[in-house]
Amino acid sequence: MKPFPDFRSKTFLLGHMREIMDFYHPICLNTEDGGYYNEYRDDGFITDRKTQHLVSTTRFIFNYVTAAILFKRQDFAEAAAHGVRYLDEVHRDPEHGGYFWLMHGREVVDTTKHCYGHAFVLLAYASAMKAGIGGMAERVAETWGLLESRFWEPERELYKDEISRDWQTVSRYRGQNANMHMTEAMLAAYEATGEARYLDRAETLARRICVELAATAQGVVWEHYGEDWSVDWDYNKDDPKHLFRPYGYLPGHMTEWTKLLLILERYRASDWILPQAILLYETALAKSADLEFGGMHYSYGPDGKLYDLDKYHWVHCETVAAAAGLAERTGQERYWQDYDRLWRYSWRHLVDHDYGCWFRILSPDGVKQSDIKSPPGKTDYHPFGACYEILRVLGEAR
């Protein structure tokens, strides 16, 4: 096998981001219905030309605007604007407000209003604002208002998860995942606008999930809660591989929180942030490490038992970004050692060196689970975003 690249170098990180864009651009541009094609085989063949998921639309926008800024590519900016138009014109609910979860071309399939999806709407608009796409300041402010009026629970200082199209029926389920991605979106909105309310909200969400609720769940981030935000220890226990709400503790979300906490600390230092970021990271690696085959397992239960032993691409992406952040923040070489080790595993097993991008899921021993590289929702946003954040940590995102 060829020698490993220098995973800490700007040249490698930018090159890897270019390879990701080369896989999707320009074939992902849906010229029939607008927006983007969502599902791809390993070789890039489009296997579904109609499904358009809110998470895919918004993540493609994020990828495109980030690439437009980094690579100074006007065609990427135009591709981002193409996605913004579909988000505005097709995903947006013209009658009740908010954004539809799932489309078939330009027809609505699922009208549910998910907080998770709306977090990515805010992220997409904030990212597009950074790239100079017109009208985005208004969209960011409008989305803030929608979230305040429909999803925010001021007495809990957290966001509700799932609401019917007409906003009349609210699910009893509450989850940390939507609030985690809302933290990410609020940080992006703060970076785009400079308005303190977004940073205030990011700090509130991080403290509530990573400190106050964690204190009720063995000190770390649990995924699922009841309507009163009490821990639901059994949610989806019989479906541990649920796509959006898998059972148990997710080490990948703990390291993703580490990354977000370190971004928060850049803008607003607080004594609790670094210790909690380290605790989440160390717990995640201790619980998930595969000492036989390498890499990280996916989930474990309150009893410490592993529930899903598979290797998910996004877990490794978020963890290398977290490791880089901790290495830079603490000056400790051991985090760079984690970074290099997990990149080597990913480079050997998760990155597709024939066609580009990352395989979505591998078995514990490293065998890919499907020839569908990118189903709806993937877009390789995690490796793309991880490389971008590592560049920021290294002071090279310019």
Catalytic residues: 253, 382
Q: How far is CA 65 from CA 132, 382, 385, in A?
A: 9, 15, 11
How far apart, in whole angstroms, are the C-alpha atoms of residue 322 and residue 179?
18
Nearest to 71 by CA among 20, 5, 125: 20
How far apart, in whole angstroms, are the C-alpha atoms of residue 398 and residue 387?
13
Compute the residue count for the chain: 398
Peptide bond into 26 cis (omega under 30): yes
Q: Indicate left, alpha or beta for 52 from its phi (over 0: left) and psi (-120 to 50: alpha).
A: beta
Q: Collapse the DSSP code of 158 into the 3-class scheme (helix H, G, I; strand E, B; otherwise coil) and give the result.
A: strand
How far apart, in whole angstroms, are the C-alpha atoms of residue 179 and residue 233?
18
Count how many Cα atoms sit within 13 Å of the Cα of residue 390 in the half-sphere of its side chain.
29
How far apart, in whole angstroms, are the C-alpha atoms of residue 59 and residue 184?
13
Contact criterion met (CB below 8 Å) for 309 and 260: no
How far apart, in whole angstroms, are the C-alpha atoms of residue 335 and residue 332?
6
Contact criterion met (CB below 8 Å) for 369 and 362: yes
How far apart, in whole angstroms, are the C-alpha atoms of residue 21 and residue 29?
12
How far apart, in whole angstroms, are the C-alpha atoms of residue 356 and residue 368?
14
**Other CB atoms within 10 A of residue 362 CB:** 19
Contact criterion met (CB below 8 Å) for 354 and 19: no
What is the chain's alpha carbon radius of gyration, rounded to the nearest angstrom?
20
Phi, psi dihedrals of residue 71, rounded to the nearest 5°: -100, 0
Q: How far is CA 3 from CA 146, 303, 357, 367, 392, in A?
A: 50, 40, 19, 22, 26
